Amino acid sequence: MDWKDKVVLVTGGTGSFGKQFIEILLAEYHPAKLIVFSRDELKQHEMRISGFDQPNLRYFIGDVRDQLRLRRAMNGVDIVIHAAALKQVPACEYNPMEAIKTNILGSGNVIEAALDAGVQRVMALSTDKAVNPVNLYGATKLAAEKLFVQSNAYAAGSATRFSCVRYGNVVGSRGSVIPIFMQQRQNGKLTITDARMTRFWLTLEQGVRFVIRCTEQMHGGEVFVPKIPSTRIVDLAQAIAPQAELDIIGIRPGEKLHEVLINEDEARSTVELEDMFVVQPSAALWFGHDWQAEGNSLPDGFRYTSETNPHWLTLEQIKQIIEPFQ
């Protein structure tokens, strides 16, 4: 796929992912037009004056809760990357209806607008918290995944295709634990909820490049899952502040000890490739099932979890990854 003749829209375009995606796409793929769709005029202004002012870049003020505004923004758009979401777990727990309005109803609006505008490809960003969710944020992202996968049924007679990318924690993204640890180390004490905790980790650039690659390869209906390393939270704390005291405060409501990227039930319809898994749609007769010939089926009972992951970051690797945030 050649991005040079494509018009691309990114919801949540001023967020951590959105800015990195836009930077890489402008520098390396040179789309015909790139539209930043987000709610915050200040963040858009700050992006523009910080160098994001190329002639093929457009800024749209809008909210994914507003379907009419999405339809206007998607006029003439070829590709949509849906990154807008409420993602802070405590905030979603305390404001459940707001999380539902943005993450579920907003996703529905993106789908409807893309169908009406004749968008060719829509890629939605998901999270490991959508698998066997224990908090509202994860539940809303699970519902959003289902919406995007099943909406290919509406698109079967048109050119529009919907897929998802699902991955783990992004190093240094807004609200992640790394900035918190770096702030706490000034006091010599880091708070950890549970010393046994593990997480999947990848860098922002890795996430962006995976999304670009999967958008190029998608057929519609798949959930793409990268093979990424795990990290022990205590190792992360040691890499950031080796001399600091660790204060174990107990696991919080809606928090897991370990994360899951593929569960046993999904594994039955999942194909393993060299560096990723492709979860094929299990209950549909349309497209998205062409990956079987390209990879291997998974064994019965397979689970892709952060605590059983064969790939772990060493302390030195963690230090290298967090170096830009020091």
Measured CA distances, 263 to 129, 145, 253, 270 (Å):
12, 15, 22, 10
- Residue range 175-229, pLDDT digits in tens: 678 888 988 888 889 999 999 999 999 999 999 999 999 999 999 999 999 999 9
For the residues 79-85, what does the mean pLDDT come to? 98
Percent of the chain with pLDDT over 90: 81
Average pLDDT of the residues of the chain = 93
Least confident of 102-111, 153-162, 217-226, 252-261: 153-162
Distance between CA atoms of residues 22 and 15, nearest Å: 10
Buried b (16+ CB within 10 A) or exposed e, 55-79: eebebbebbbeebebbbebbeebbb
| 3-class secondary-structure state, position 52 | coil
Q: Is the pLDDT of residue 69 over 80?
A: yes
Catalytic residue IDs:
129
Looking at residue 61, its amino acid is I
Could you name the CATH architecture of 3-168+201-227+260-303? 3-Layer(aba) Sandwich (3.40)
* pLDDT tens digit sequence for 258-303: 999 999 999 999 999 999 999 998 766 566 678 888 899 999 999 9
Largest CA distance in the chain: 61
Query: Rounded to two decimals, what is the model's pTM?
Result: 0.95
Dihedral of alpha carbons 221, 226, 231, 233, sign: negative
pLDDT of 12: 97
**Quick check: helix, strand or coil at residue 248?**
strand
